[in-house]
Amino acid sequence: MAQRRIAVIQAGTSLFDTPRTLERMEAHCQAAAAEGVELAVFPEAYVGGYPKGLDFGARIGSRTAQGRDDFLRYWQAAIEVPGPETARIGSFAAKMKAHLVTGVIERDGGTLYCTALFFGPDGALLGKHRKLMPTASERLVWGQGDGSTIPVFDTHIGRIGAAICWENYMPNLRQAMYGKGISLWCAPTVDERDIWQASMRHIAYEGRCFVLSACQYMTRADAPDAYDCVQGNDPSTVLIRGGSVIVGPLGDVLAGPVHDREAVLTADIDPADTIRGKYDLDVAGHYARPDIFRLSVNETARAPVSYQVEVADGEGGEDGEEPGEAAP
């Protein structure tokens, strides 16, 4: 197989300023395009922002008016999927002629979701993955995804999917992704800790896949003046220090980690290395022991409200279909 160039983009959000964030994103995409990449991955919550250090005025049994205003500001910075912002992000992918995966904060009614979006090299929005389990205080401001958005896309460079931040610690989700034959595992995150590096190497080795972990690098200067975070108000204070990394199917680090600055990390890979790796370990194949263990994945969309229209007697055709509609 031909060599492929892949990339992770370590960059920060202009918090609560989505137009400015998209301008920064476009510049990073141009830099990645100059490197000739075929896949670029941006961090968790890149568009819409990760409000690190805010508490949204929540205490057990009470919420504050200021916290509600913080949520309103966060909701206003989020994007609808699809929408004008996704069309613009798609145009970045089309100019790159590359696949693009990015974290966003998705607005759906009054609820926000931490979501990963997938774009093709023609700019088309291929689909999305909503984070299944927000971690700790994230649950105050993000809803939970369901099994209907756990896609793995078959592309000319490999099978692309994503797990967001601490979803990577969900063994059943990992096995579900392995079962779909994922070979390019995208891990948008804001986890800057050293142990995250061990986790990314473990997943690459366990799944015999390439792991692309993009982490934000964000300082207090990336947030507005009216931002009451626990870290303080010094503009130089680092809120998220990065640590983006690319790992190969045998756990070998191919690029990174990089800390304390924005960066475009690239690696040239041989997609066939995923098959070479599965020679002795295929956790969704010859190493699975389905006679003992079995995982069932419910991919049904779980809408909170469903609407049904009943057709009055005599108004519809056979079995209640609309007039002129063929019966199944």
128 is catalytic: no
- Tally Cβ neighbours within 10 Å of residue 46: 30
131 is catalytic: yes
Strand order in the sheet with 125-130: 125-130, 111-119, 99-108, 39-41, 4-10, 263-269
Q: Which two tokens stand for residue 226?
A: 């009216």
44 is catalytic: yes
Token match 């830099």: residue?
A: 31
Q: Are 191 and 138 in contact (CB under 8 A)?
A: no
SS3 state at 140 = helix
User: Which listed residue (106, 114, 128, 165) is catalytic?
Assistant: 165
The angle subtended at Cα 247 by Cα 206 and Cα 148, nearest 5°, is: 60
Q: Is the sign of the CA dihedral 271, 10, 164, 255 positive or negative?
A: positive
The angle subtended at Cα 164 by Cα 180 and Cα 62, nearest 5°, is: 135
Q: Which two tokens stand for residue 67?
A: 């916290």
Phi/psi for 326 (5° steps) reads -70, 140
User: Which listed residue (128, 131, 138, 186) is catalytic?
Assistant: 131
Which residues are identified as catalytic? Answer: 44, 131, 165
